[in-house]
Structure 1
Amino acid sequence: MSKKITIAIDGFSSTGKSTLAKQLANKLGYVYVDTGAMYRAVTLYAMQKEYISADFFNKEALIKALPKIKLQFIFNSDLGFGEMFLNDSNVEKQIRKIEVSGFVSKVAEISEVRSKLVEQQQEMGKNKGIVMDGRDIGTVVFPEAELKIFMNATASTRAQRRYDELQAKGDQVTYEAVLKNVEERDYIDTHRADSPLIVAEDATEIDNSNLSRDEQFDLVIALVNEVTKTL
């Protein structure tokens, strides 16, 4: 494929955005960026510094510390994608834990955090040939993206997927706790003042509640081919 494009994938938590984005990047030879991992890494930093807990959040301290937070994606050839490094430490596994999931939407609400990460994300995609997933990629980070996908599924379906994933990793969680986390994140993501989760006007919305990964991938690849034919 000679003409490279920007593919923006947005949607609710646990809709399989990252899985789809990795598939597309591998198929197309594109760069893959998981923006959720970036917000999770900042959240992990806040937790390590005790800026945030169940009943406390020192937003000012986190904002002041932002210049000290170094984020990198370092490619792992065995996995086939870049792992998240926070201040030169591999935190890929730590940031996926439900404890981080419980705080990440609150951290992502902070305008200064979003501004810092959006600037980095735009720099990563300036040469196109990129697949980026998150909450505001098609609306804020790359509003001119040639292809925008918005992914959705029922909360119960997404919670079950997330629960199964955490169980497979050995995390001791209950389905009820995961469902509560999914619903709370949905509310915060769609109601925050800065860059709320919305469907871009020119996005293709996909409800994958009843789609297999292969069916979803075939659907999106067809969209990619349709877009590139017109360029």
Structure 2
Amino acid sequence: MSEEPQFKRVLLKLSGEALMGSQDYGIDPEMVNRVAAEIKAVRELGVEVCLVVGAGNIFRGMSGVASGFDRTSADHMGMLATVMNSLAIQNALENMDVDTRVLSAFPISSVCEPYIRRRAIRHMEKGRVVVFAAGTGNPFFTTDTAAALRAAEMNCDALLKGTQVNGVYTADPKLDPTAEKYDSLSYQEVLRRDLKVMDTSAIALARENDIPILVFSIHEPGEFARVLKGEGQFTIIRQE
């Protein structure tokens, strides 16, 4: 793979479930290390990387609501769980000699830096990986929306969503063997067909800021780097 990456600055969105590995709950250190290795490989291509991670492996706000929690309290709990995941990724990256900073939308000064846009951009310019924790800092917004927002604020060339499958399908390929994969979609098609790629706020933000979304499998070793070179298996969502 000698081709140059197609993007210079990207945001990687990971679900909390991606960090569970084969476990039913929590953080699998082996999986975190593999994700960190994927990020390191992309950094070595000269691509500036930032990321947003969810918290579904620890606490999911909407599940908390279903269990009787107030929505605002449940979302705050989920945001705090993203800080735990972000610190795990930072630890794994720094064990691989990749300089990393966690910036939280909540001020938690004893464990990470507060999110300040100019500071985050400066970290990236210095070659550091920046992990954005605590979502947007507001309840009622998902980490998908946080990813699209931070990608816009960081002037990213693309938003990459690492998922359980290698792109966007007409239906869940794990449940429907006849599901077909899309190679490309427009933002409008995603919204019109109600494809469950990211929530509508995230898609709308990406569309307004003309940030392409590339959906790929984070479980395929080396795929993050391949997708950035236009190789591998993925679905791209962009303007028509």
TM-score category, normalised to shorter length: 0.3 to 0.5
More helix by share: 1
Query: Normalized against structure 1, the TM-score is what?
Result: 0.39
Query: Normalized against structure 2, the TM-score is what?
Result: 0.38
